[in-house]
Amino acid sequence: MIRENLARVREEIRRAAEGCGRDPADIKLVAVSKKKSVAEIKEAVQCGQITFGENYIQEAVAKIDQLDPQLQWHFIGHLQSNKARNAARCFHLVETVDRIKIARALDRHAAELDRILNILVQVNIGREPQKSGVAPEKTEELLRQITTLPNLRLLGLMATPPYSRDAEASRPWFRALKNLGDQLKPLDLFADPAKVELSMGMSGDFQVAIEEGATMVRVGTAIFGPRIQ
C-alpha cells in the first residue's frame, strides 16, 4: 500500500509542477511518519524515500536510531527548549523555529555538537491564536536575530494554513507565505541569497502549494494512510 501511495503522490507532484511550468526536481517530498512504525518507514525507504518528517522528539529519536543513518529527518512539531539538544543532534532540518529563545537553544546545542543546523522559520500565516509560528509582520525581526547565531543555517520559511477540507481555501495562505519570502529575500537574511525554501502543503493541498511555489511538501496520510491516535 505504501508503495502504491508513494508512487501516486510522486506522480501528483510531477503533474502539479509541470502544470505550472516548474521542474518537479525542485520540490522535495517530506514523508511525514509521525505515529508510524519503523517497519512502515522501512517500506517507504525501499521505495527510494529518504526524507521523513516527525513531530515528536522522543518518538523520532527512538525510530531514527533504528534506521539507516543516511536518511534525512525534518522536525515539524512544536519544539520545546528542553528537547532542543536532541533536535540539534538528530535532525537535518528543524522546520519550526518560531521564537528567538528556541533559536538560541538550538544554536548552543549545535555548537556543542560541532555542527551547523539547518532551520526554517515557522510563520503563523493565518494568525491563528492556537497555532505556533511567528506573526507575519514579526518575521523580519526574528530573521535578523537568527542571522547573529553562527551555528544555524536559515534556509527559508514554513507554514500550515488554517485547516479546510477545500484545498483551494489554502491557496491565499500559500501565496501569502511566498510573498513574504519574496519580500524578505533581498534583505540578505537567508543562507542562500538566491533561494528561499518554502515548506507548505500537506496531503489535502500539496498540489495547490506547488502551484504557489512550495519547495518542500509535507505529506503523511496520503503515503502512510490514516493515523490511529
Query: Is 218 a residue that touches ligand PLP (CB under 6 A)?
Result: yes
Does position 160 bind ligand PLP by CB under 6 A? yes
Residue 28 engages ligand PLP in binding (rule: CB under 6 A): no
For residue 220, how far is the Cα from the chain centroid?
12
Distance CA 147, CA 120 (A): 12
Residue 220 within binding range of ligand PLP, rule CB under 6 A: yes
Are the C-beta atoms of residues 115 and 90 closer than 8 Å to each other?
A: no
Secondary structure (DSSP) of 4-65: HHHHHHHHHHHHHHHHTT--GGG-EEEEE-TT--HHHHHHHHHTT--EEEES-HHHHHHHHT
7: cell is: 508512487
Kindly state the cell numbers that stand for 152: 544555524
Place of cell 479546510: 164
Residue from the set 55, 81, 86, 151 that interacts with ligand PLP by CB under 6 A: 55
- C-alpha cell of residue 116: 551547523
Q: What is the three-class DSSP state of 168? A: helix
Binding-site member from 13, 76, 152, 184 for ligand PLP (CB under 6 A): 76
The smaller minimum CB distance to ligand PLP, of residues 146 and 214, is found at 214
Tell me the closest approach of the beta carbon of residue 32 to ligand PLP, in angstroms.
4
Least CB distance from residue 218 to ligand PLP, whole Å?
A: 4
Residue by residue, DSSP assigns 98-137 as: -SHHHHHHHHHHHHHTT-PEEEEEEB-TT--TTS-SB-GG
Residue 81 makes contact with ligand PLP by CB under 6 A: no
Stretch that binds ligand PLP, among 14-22, 67-75, 109-117, 216-224 (CB under 6 A): 216-224
Decide: is 46 part of the binding site for ligand PLP (CB under 6 A).
no
Which of 19-27, 110-118, 132-140, 201-209 is the region at the interface with ligand PLP (rule: CB under 6 A)?
A: 201-209
Q: Residue 77 CB, nearest distance to ligand PLP (Å)?
A: 6
In angstroms, what is the minimal distance from the CB of 206 to ligand PLP? 8
Which stretch in 9-17, 102-110, 166-174, 214-222 sits in contact with ligand PLP by CB under 6 A? 214-222
Write the DSSP assignment of 135-158 as a string of letters.
-GGGHHHHHHHHTT-TTEEEEEEE
Of 13, 202, 209, 210, which lies in the binding site for ligand PLP, with binding defined by CB under 6 A? 202
Binding site for ligand PLP (CB under 6 A): 32, 34, 55, 76, 160, 202-204, 218-222
